[in-house]
Amino acid sequence: MSAPHSSERSTIALIADYYDAFNRRDVDAMLALLADEVVHEPSQGQPRRGKAAFAQFLAHMNRCYREHVHEPVVLATPDGSHASAEFRLTGAYIESDEGLPAASGQAYALRVGAFFDVDQGLIARVSNHYNLADWIAQVERG
């Protein structure tokens, strides 16, 4: 196995910083790591474009959920333009989200995969994927 290229290392550090900011609930730090025209592709729903739309999404998520990323494993292409991460996500469902079961602080844990495009040292696309049916089953069990 060869040593990672500097672009690969930089991208891995960028994604690690993104999840560190996520765990601190530091929206400003997260937004600072994104390209102005970032594309966010959620597991369900339509893609969002731009930092303002992503900031609105984060505000909504922070209102309805308290989540923490555990042990992210980040891989990047040698040129640093693409990355992926897999991690365990734990959380509490604290405010009911439209179209989902009622919230009462239910705990949940999911395996999540995420994919990134990186351009000029910033995250240009983030695409998250998880099992929504599993999440619903967990919160319905309480």
Own/partner pairs for 60-63, CB < 8 Å, 24+ apart?
Answer: 60/97, 62/25, 62/27, 63/94, 63/95
CATH T-level assignment (fold) for domain 6-141: Nuclear Transport Factor 2; Chain: A, (3.10.450)
* Averaged confidence pLDDT in the chain: 95
Domain ranges of the chain: 6-141
Tens digit of pLDDT for each residue in 10-45? 999 999 999 999 999 999 999 999 999 999 999 988
CA dihedral 81, 87, 91, 95 (to 10 degrees): 30
Q: In the chain, which ranges are E strands?
A: 34-41, 48-49, 65-76, 82-93, 106-119, 122-129
Q: Would you say residue 5 has pLDDT above 80?
A: no
pTM here is: 0.93
**Which helix H or strand E contains 46, and what residues bound it?**
none
pLDDT at 6: 74
Tens digit of pLDDT for each residue in 40-61? 999 988 999 999 999 999 999 9
